[in-house]
Structure 1
């Protein structure tokens, strides 16, 4: 089959499998990948994601990952929400979960379909193929821009003129020589809505993300206590953050798609914080079975929930936070202390601290106890999602 016809056949098959975009680039199409990645790592923006450093050489050049690769087929799958994700952050006693996580784990969904499409390519062309979805050291976004699917916006997420920025990406590496597509240019212009919408100021400059301040990193990748100066900005976001994606003007071309493609679960869109804080490991695994959330683990997730409880301004959640003071996980106990410092009057928190601090065995939790209590009366307008950043959204 001629390369042009083969590519057309792959495009048609990809559509049938639920992909919304297919484009081809060469492995050498982004020669500045290495210097860009090195500068980002040198600035420490990767935080505790050590694998970004250990795999930097392979990320910088796809040919290092697989020397025989001749073409890279980039695919995009739209997961656009059917309602405004920013509505969830206004429900302070409910959990806000990132859109992509409100359904079956996208790694499983996309990898199976990529393998099927790669099988078509291998059988028709007689060439070798490899598939990659996020977990491999592949720089999907720059490659997708080189292939013309979209461009990396100022928030570093891929933006498509046809689909907005709700896109899962996957790649098929192949030894076949396929016709390439033209790269996509930058269409952000002077817009900076995504930068202004970030609750924790995670963008030190346009097109640069400091993961250490990003809510998605803090609630998913970061294993320890969340830095105190970033907790109020998290609001009720217990897993990921959609703010910078949700405000992008190019979403006017997006369409809702997650229902049919990712088996979206309506029950995950508005879960009470009180219920989530009381999850033990078995209940956590059962509730989030098959979703990306399960991989984070119960302790880290309940840590996030307690941060949200502390930001809720809701005295009715005091008892829920108090229950977690006896949790087996120091990570959970520490965030329970912080939540109580936010919700209780200073004198009530001082009484509780006096009764419990000396019995605490973990140094980090003791440090939380000994920090000056904030008190419910000082929860500011901005902490409640009504400050300047929220108004810009």
Structure 2
């Protein structure tokens, strides 16, 4: 097993990784920006090294220097920042360190949505109708859309996390959105390549957790439902999905294994799919080559610790749990520092922070009373996760936990979750990615 680990991240995911590493008697090293000096993860690590300005978590050279300074043996990237940066993954290994993640080639292959689509199609994974090559001009995009059929999704090929996407209902809309998405992609990702894909007005977002094992095998654990979204970004996830039957689950997991095998996947990853509730058809959306924000719900229904499994795989060891055994139902709510109506960011100093407790309640948080949520990062403050005997039990526990979570200072979206957990559409389990817009 790895003996020392640098966590190249911040907030709740840094605390999450540190917690597991400590349980496994692995020495932990945190890196922190000047904006995060007072956060809990800095204190909880065995050693903490400042790396400078707020955006330093994207500074690979500074993180590698901290790893050398602290004699860390391995680097865990968490999610976001450098977690899906193929060049950084390769640099970690070039510097003689262990990368707790997939091979750089797999990250690169899946980082380009067009390349990923084509690879998946070749591997026999269903993909939605769309372009096989980037639409170089708006005229090429219009020509492609005429074949695909409107509405279409205009997507940044190098995008991720719900960013760089827009819907066009007709040619006029496509001409407008194409230029906007391309400009955004160039600014945010340094790559203006654009993909045109069929857009499904009513669709569910379902994903499968995979593990690429040290011996070369790829296995699929189970699916997660991620359809409660605002601006294409997830707010609530649950496992298992209320929309997935046993036969559909079998097909989803088989497709996810094919996807992982196609790129020689190792460590934890997620194959994201769009599910058409009208037909039961599913299509490959993208592969996230890292640990997902919503991994705790899979942990709970499988009775395992996915960070531990990541560390075992990176150490060349076998996993240590029954991958086919699941029980109960889990739900995760992303507690963000944002207005619960319009979802606009609302950072600030935390005056009150009281986490709910009780059987089946788990909180993975990045903040505490007296700390400050700054505007420099994503608005996620904590993840409220509940586990119940079944979906109804999990929802009841979620209601109680939301009522018992007290946050004052920064804004929070807790009132939105109280509303959602009484929404008839959500309670019936018959919802799609448009549920939040219908609530607003």
Q: Same fold (TM over 0.5)?
A: no
Scaled by the length of structure 1, what TM-score is found? 0.26
Scaled by the length of structure 2, what TM-score is found? 0.24
Name the structure, 1 or 2, with higher relative contact order (CA <8 Å, separation 6+).
1
